[in-house]
Amino acid sequence: MAYGDPTILVKRLYNDLAPLLRDVKAHADAARQSLGFLPEQVYQEAALQQKILIAVAYRPSGEEYAGHLLFGGRFPHLRIFQIYVPPAQRGRGIATLLIDTLVKDAEIVGYLSISARVAQDLTEANQFWQRNGFSLARSRPGGASTGRTINVRVRELRTPNLFTVLGPHATVNLGLKARLSERRPTYALDLNVMFDLVRQRTNADSVTRIFNAALNQVFALRVTDEFIKELRRTSLGNPDPVLEFALSLPQFPVVPVQAIEPLTRELVSLVFPARGRIGQLTVQDQSDLRHLACAIHHKASGFITSEKAILACRETLREKYSLDIVGTAELGESITPAQWSMDREIRLAHGSEIFVCQLDESQRAMTERFLRGLSIPPEVVTAALAAGATGSLRRRLLVNCGSAVVGFASWDAVNPLREEVELFLFVDEDHLGAEPILDCLIDRAVTDSSGVCPIVISLRLYPGQELCRTAAVAHGFRSVQEPTGGNSAVFRKICVGRVVTSADWSSLRTQLQRTASVNLPESAPLYEGEETCMDVVTPQGNSVRLPLAEVESLLGPVLFLLPNRNGAIVPIRRRFVEELFGATIQGSLLPREEAALFSERVYYSHPRTLAVLKAGMPIVFYESKGDRGRGAVFACARIVRVELRDSGEVTKDLERRGVLSARTMRKMRYSGQVAITFFDNIMRLRVPVALRTQRNMHCVDGANLMTARLLRADQLQALLTAGQLNG
């Protein structure tokens, strides 16, 4: 009822709606300039599906039409197509009553949002939607005949079961903390590193990269007072440009001798045990020890040096003092972003083609217009489009459909010193390919960011990004509470990016604790099938018992190769590697298939493979030698579920996520059934493992790989270790 008005009632059941549909049609036609024209059949079908609400006013003579709301959409997002109240009934809050009724009904059944479209020049209409909680999400051109700009407005719902649409795993939240500051790791610089640069030694190029990364704020570089003292001691005279440059570098505060001396004595037995025992430490030795002690005192993340004695005890210093000792050449190489190419043309299921490419500066203006059309704040647009600097360029992916921009994502190139990456993600959510485009962009960001070491990815979403929110949660992102409010929401995710064995367990546990304050069990649990669980301690200190599948989803891409966890190896022909995995085939000029965009894909096989392929099992993909294939294992993934279906039940959605050969289709028609294996957590091996190597490791026998085969836990581990996928 309208604000307690007992004479107004909203009807939603077909038997109540049917007598009123003629009135709805008549009023809608009278207002067709603002509502548009719809045939009578549309209203009939909407009533049958309960997708129209009609308000009636009661009079002594009976009830009369007082307004209607026509809606539709696809779960979990609703869209309002029409809302209308006749002039005689206006001012009674009927339109708001209709919206409130729809909101209440939608929240009960788990919808996430409701959207509406209104012409930008209709000021009063825009104000009405704003008052009713519909924020401006984006603007887009209207029809060619009107020349209008259309505002897309969205109201996000307070749905109690927000994540039920994504399955039970989506309710699990590790409770990652919001980042309160732009905390960067701090590294102390040894004097020998400076001399490498000044004297143009072998490591000079690596030192240049280190300074470049520090200037680009990848990490903070500091020197100690001992650094300055030692440089003064070795200075060649006045003026000394090296000394003057060193004095301009950020310095740690001076530590009193009495505070640092006990720590220095401790370090003697670790770094210079032989000379320390006989009391023959050199001046240089003592200086090195004071350098280290100062870095430890100030809780530096690491110490950059080329001193062999210090490098030799790096593990001890890390365990005892949480100080990372890193060599000059090692650090210089690791902080250099890998060469990266993403140009890709992809054919979508509905017939159109999209092009995914790295953003060129010539495309910046059109991309900026796209982002502003989504009502993204100007400062966010600037940050998202930032190119970075030479040697530390940001990843920027643009998605075009024809001449139109339909998607954009950007993030910082990863390096081992960066503990967190901020992801910017924007898609035209009205585009038919929005779902696979989102999958593609998130998958690329997650895979690229976790290519070096475990990392936390932070994603901020704005009103109207409903599909982005759904896709992010499906990929393991979870919302975090921020100390400040605002109209945006932050989601975070941990990415491991490799397979983990019992031998790697302790190292990963330490990395996750340092990066995200999340603790895994002290030792790898024994695999006990799909019911295998893991006790994880959140940053708040709460211990939660999670199924293994959920842990892998939250930390993915990752596969835990636990003791007793068997796997499977399956063959795939060369031409389907391109279509299903997006792997480059030299000489291929054809657009790639849509399946390569999805994070969850489908592998089709003969029904007899169900004896091998099981849910929760790691699956290894072998590219067959036929059609000039490599004859090597090139990727692994996790089986989500396996189904046996009649050939006629292979839906369009399944066809989009997998590839079928004509031969397979004939077999399906002949046998009538096909095994469908859904898989995710896809990781490419750094080094493909050839069939001969597999046989030498006793992972396969002398026969050719023609169908799915079981891999014992030890064979699976040996195979993926050979592929250098375990860190």
Q: What whole-number distance in Å separates Cα of residue 257 and Cα of residue 265?
A: 12
Domain topology for 8-162: Aminopeptidase (3.40.630)
Sign of CA dihedral 314, 315, 316, 322: positive
DSSP string of 245-298?
Answer: HHHTS-BPPPPPHHHHHHHHHHHHHHHSHHHHHTT---HHHHHHHHHHHHHHHT
Question: Does residue 662 have a pLDDT over 50?
Answer: no
Superfamily of domain 186-334: 5'-nuclease (3.40.50.1010)
Q: Among all chains, which residue has been given the structure tokens 């023959």?
A: 280
70: pLDDT confidence band, cut at 50, 70 and 90?
Answer: very high
Share of the chain above pLDDT 90, in %: 17
| Of 64-73, 213-222, 234-243, 491-500, the least confident | 234-243
Question: Does residue 55 have a pLDDT over 80?
Answer: yes
CATH 3.40.630.30 spans which residues of the chain? 8-162, 344-495
Read off φ and ψ for residue 469, nearest 5 degrees. -65, -45
The DSSP letter of residue 2 is: B
Read off φ and ψ for residue 104, nearest 5 degrees. -65, -45
Q: What is the pTM of this model?
A: 0.67
CATH 2.30.130.30 spans which residues of the chain? 567-722
Mean pLDDT of 276-280: 81
Question: Does residue 587 have a pLDDT over 90?
Answer: no
698: pLDDT confidence band, cut at 50, 70 and 90?
Answer: confident
Summary mean pLDDT of the chain = 80
Structure-model confidence comparison of residues 171 and 621, the more confident one: 621
Q: Residues with Cβ < 8 Å from 256, sequence gap 6 or more? A: none
Question: Does residue 1 have a pLDDT over 70?
Answer: no
Q: Residues with Cβ < 8 Å from 687, sequence gap 6 or more? A: 722, 723, 724
Q: In this structure, what token pair is assigned to residue 320?
A: 């005892």
Superfamily of domain 567-722: Hypothetical protein. (2.30.130.30)
Question: Does residue 648 have a pLDDT over 90?
Answer: no
CATH 3.40.50.1010 spans which residues of the chain? 186-334
Calculated CA dihedral for residues 696, 697, 700, 703, nearest 10 degrees:
0
Q: Residues with Cβ < 8 Å from 668, sequence gap 6 or more? A: 647, 650, 660, 674
Share of the chain above pLDDT 70, in %: 82
Read off φ and ψ for residue 124, nearest 5 degrees. -65, -40
Mean pLDDT of 585-613: 67
Report pLDDT for 68.
95
| Of 69-78, 200-209, 330-339, 381-390, the least confident | 330-339
Report pLDDT for 630.
84
Report pLDDT for 176.
59
* Chain segment 337-395, per-residue pLDDT in tens: 555 555 555 555 445 677 888 888 889 999 999 998 888 889 999 999 998 776 667 88
Question: Does residue 305 have a pLDDT over 90?
Answer: no
Report pLDDT for 385.
92
* Chain segment 387-439, per-residue pLDDT in tens: 877 666 788 999 988 888 999 999 987 776 677 889 999 998 888 788 888 98
Superfamily of domain 344-495: Gcn5-related N-acetyltransferase (GNAT) (3.40.630.30)
Q: What is the 3-state secondary structure (H, E, C) of 391-452?
A: CEEEEEEEEEECCEEEEEEEEECCCCCCCEEEEEEEECCCCCCHHHHHHHHHHHHHHHHCCC
Q: Are 309 and 282 in contact (CB under 8 A)?
A: no
Report pLDDT for 337.
55
Question: Does residue 180 have a pLDDT over 60?
Answer: no
Question: Does residue 285 have a pLDDT over 90?
Answer: no
Q: Which range is most confident: 253-262, 605-614, 644-653?
A: 605-614
Report pLDDT for 131.
92
Q: What is the 3-state secondary structure (H, E, C) of 631-673?
A: CEEEEEEEEEEEEEEEHHHCCHHHHHHCCCCHHHHHHHHHHCE
DSSP string of 16-59?
Answer: HHGGGHHHHHHHHHHTHHHH----HHHHHHHHHTT-EEEEEEEE
576: pLDDT confidence band, cut at 50, 70 and 90?
Answer: confident
